[in-house]
Amino acid sequence: MTRLENGNCIIEIALDDTYCTDREFNGKYDIVINPLGHPQNEYYRAYAIHVILKDRKYSVALIGDCNCWDDHCGVIDGDILTLLQGWEITQFDVAAAHVIRSVTLDTMAPNFEIHKANTGYLIYGETEITMLNDELELLWSFSGSDIFVSNSGKKPFEMKEDRICLYDFMDHYYELDFQGNVVCHDDR
């Protein structure tokens, strides 16, 4: 389970593998969101999102491709919860309890993590690193020689204060700045 919090709210996010898109949950969720209209099948699951505000609590089921890592599946910024579900990103206003926008990333492989960066959102994917602005529009993307998964035990993705450090499967090392420029590359 992922727990996000700030002065406005507490958000708890977990996968709900029991969710089926064609049946009701008898009050399990206050809101069910399927922004891209996914059919019921084994590829789509629900994030169970529990929102705790100062004046109320409610639960949301967000249906999508939940192929990402739990501890970096979402970011809270003020009242805006931004969630990554594989190729899909949904922004949800937790105070107003409605979807602001939902987009599908044009990446070759699924994405694992989302992070807030000063210029928007940084997405760590299997084959690409993608930077989006606050409206989820593409600013830049970067691909290496192979997938960003390390077979040498090194950390394949690390976001530092002034750069992004990457290792690919062939143990090539890259450093990017937050504008997508390669500032260091080592083929070793």
Residue 6: CB atoms within 10 A of its CB come to 11
User: pLDDT tens-digit profile of 141-180?
Assistant: 999 889 999 888 899 999 999 999 999 999 999 999 999 9
Cβ proximity of 104 and 88 under 8 Å: yes
Measured in degrees and rounded to the nearest 5, phi and psi for residue 70 equal -55, -45
- pLDDT, tens digit, for every residue of 91-137? 999 999 999 999 999 999 989 999 999 889 999 999 999 999 999 99
Reported as a pLDDT band with limits 50, 70 and 90, residue 34 is confident
Distance CA 106, CA 135 (A): 16
Neighbour tally for 107: CB within 10 Å: 18
Name the residue with tokens 């169970």.
Answer: 48
pTM of the entire predicted model: 0.90
